[in-house]
Amino acid sequence: MLLEAKSLKKIYQTRFGGSQVIALSNVSFSVEKGEYVAIMGESGAGKTTLLNILATLDRPTSGKILLNGQSIEGMKEKELAAFRREHLGFVFQDFNLLDTFSVKDNIFLPLVLSDKTVEEMESRLAPLVKKLGIKDLLEKYPYELSGGQKQRCAVARALITNPQIVLADEPTGALDSKATDELLKLFEEINEEGQTLLMVTHSTKAASHAKRVLFIKDGEVFHQIYKGAMSKEEMYHKIADTLTLLATGGELNGK
Ligand SMILES: Nc1ncnc2c1ncn2[C@@H]1O[C@H](COP(=O)(O)OP(=O)(O)OP(=O)(O)O)[C@@H](O)[C@H]1O
């Protein structure tokens, strides 16, 4: 198993020691190599909390995460940073590109931090440039690009370390519909080539591209839908129906 989340619980203590917020009460699931998983749930359901914990940016109150059977528990901040760089790729809603660096330097950043040689960086970049169609963007600066172009560059930055899993937080959230379609197509392609993807999204359309959708409610995994042989349209309707159930507090069959 590539990624295992075991009984994750996250309690936020509000400042001044007042009340507690249980963001995650008991979340367990696993992701196999090559999967494409979307995580959905209403606002405040705990999706960002979950993603931050999976990204090792935040620690659970209890429970644990295993990547390839390895627990990150007990790692010091420096080890964690190296672990993140080596094993995880990140794509964010607002791109998180640095405006003072060219696109190429933004993409190289994770490799620079890992002390890779220029030759190695260039040889890793070449196939990505081709796949993502970003040749003409490399010498530009992020502020010169459209949202869709920025997100393609951010995907290149996420992929350049050959991560075991790409974690995406609402990756289509700031994109128009054309750029959204392009990004979803790209995610599908890289997944078909074997890249494991995990994406938090509010978008039914984005989730309908995933092979599995996990719904979080009240800090727990409420339901899962496997795409299996379903078309994207069928998947879309099934997700929309489940979201309606979530919002209206309805019961699922067998639940
Ligand atoms: N740092 C924090 N301190 C206290 N409470 C927090 C903190 N971060 C999140 N929460 C609370 O934890 C719960 C889950 O928040 P989270 O941001 O994970 O939800 P979400 O599903 O990502 O929501 P959205 O879709 O709106 O981004 C919410 O009740 C939120 O108010």
Residues 226-241: tens digit of each pLDDT: 999 999 999 999 999 9
Does residue 208 have a pLDDT over 90?
Answer: yes
Residue type at 119 in one-letter notation: E
Which tens digits make up the pLDDT trace of 20-52? 999 999 999 999 999 999 999 988 889 999 999
Whole-number pLDDT of residue 49: 93
Pair of tokens at residue 164: 């075991």
Strands 212-217 and 62-67: unpaired
Residue 255 resides in a domain? no
Strand order in the sheet with 62-67: 70-71, 62-67, 3-13, 20-31, 220-226, 212-217, 36-40, 196-200, 165-169, 88-92
Does residue 85 have a pLDDT over 80?
Answer: yes
Residue 254 resides in a domain? no
Residue 62 resides in a domain? yes
Residue 158 resides in a domain? yes
Residue 90 resides in a domain? yes
Residue 53 resides in a domain? yes
pLDDT > 70: percent of the chain? 98
Q: List helix spans (H) across 114-146.
A: 118-132
Residue 219 resides in a domain? yes
Which tens digits make up the pLDDT trace of 117-134? 999 999 999 999 999 999
Per DSSP, 161 falls in state: T
Say which residue the tokens 């970049």 belong to.
125
- Residue 201 Cα to ligand 1 midpoint, Å, equals 14
Whole-number pLDDT of residue 253: 58
Burial 39-78 (b: 16+ CB within 10 A, else e): bbbeeebbbbbbbbbbbbeeebeebbbbbeeeebeeeeee
Mean pLDDT of 203-230: 95
Most confident of 9-23, 65-79, 164-178: 164-178
Task: State the CATH number of the domain containing residue 21.
Answer: 3.40.50.300
Name the band, by pLDDT with cuts 50, 70 and 90, for residue 252: low
User: Regarding predicted confidence, which is higher, 75 or 203?
Assistant: 203
- Residue 50 Cα to ligand 1 midpoint, Å, equals 10
Query: Which one, of 225, 207, 200, 238, lies nearest residue 45 by Cα?
Result: 200
Mean pLDDT of the chain: 93
Mean pLDDT of 196-224: 95
Residue 253 resides in a domain? no
Does residue 254 have a pLDDT over 50?
Answer: no
Mean pLDDT of 96-115: 93
Whole-number pLDDT of residue 14: 81
How many independent structural domains does the chain possess? 1
CB of 47 closer than 6 angstroms to any ligand 1 atom: yes
Q: Hey, which of 47, 61, 92, 243 would you mutate to test ligand 1's pocket, going by the most ligand atoms within 8 Å of its Cβ?
A: 47
Domain that holds residue 204: 3-248
Which residue has its alpha carbon closest to ligand 1 atom 14?
A: 46
Whole-number pLDDT of residue 229: 95
Q: How far apart are CA 9 and CA 90, in angstroms?
A: 23
Whole-number pLDDT of residue 247: 86
Pair of tokens at residue 123: 């040889």
Does residue 200 have a pLDDT over 90?
Answer: yes
User: Regarding predicted confidence, which is higher, 19 or 194?
Assistant: 194
Query: Which one, of 231, 85, 106, 101, lies nearest residue 161 by Cα?
Result: 85
